[in-house]
Amino acid sequence: MALKQILPKVFYSDINVGLKFFIDGMGFTLGYHDDSLYIVNRDDITFLLVDSKEFAEGDRPEIRIATDNIEAIYQEIKDRAPEILHPNSKVVSHKPWGLKEFATLDPTTVCIIFQQPV
């Protein structure tokens, strides 16, 4: 089992500002997008850019961590502290964007999502 990468989510009131900064400014490429989610990549670095004025004005951090064995890290956390499993994502599930995920939540609402490619 290994934790491999952190994938931060960054909120923007105007998504074009974020896309210009990451793509035009730093050479990231757009890997996926829908109405509000834009995933940009460069080398081994990934950022999730979200078009959300509400969250851009006052968000709590949500951080993604990539792993090569999501079942092992899930079992470890479930055994150690099941109370921190996020109520909306407390089991490993397959997502339509090609990942298996589960999440944890601290008392201040900091959310850590663990993910692994399907």
Q: Assign residue 14 the CATH number of its domain.
A: 3.10.180.10
Residue 20: its pLDDT value, please? 94
CA distance 83 to 118: 26
**Domain total in the chain:** 1
Residue 38: its pLDDT value, please? 98
Burial class of residue 41 (count of CB atoms within 10 Å of its CB; 0-12, 13-18, 19+): middle
Cβ-contact 30, 42 below 8 angstroms: no
The rounded average pLDDT for each run of 10 residues, N- to C-terminus, in the chain (118 residues) is 89 93 92 97 93 85 89 94 94 97 88 93
Specify if 20 maps to a domain: yes
Specify if 49 maps to a domain: yes
Burial class of residue 40 (count of CB atoms within 10 Å of its CB; 0-12, 13-18, 19+): buried
Residue 65: its pLDDT value, please? 86
Please spell the DSSP secondary structure of 92-105, one letter per residue: -EE-TTSEEEEEEE
Residue 18: its pLDDT value, please? 94
| Structural domain range at position 48 | 9-117
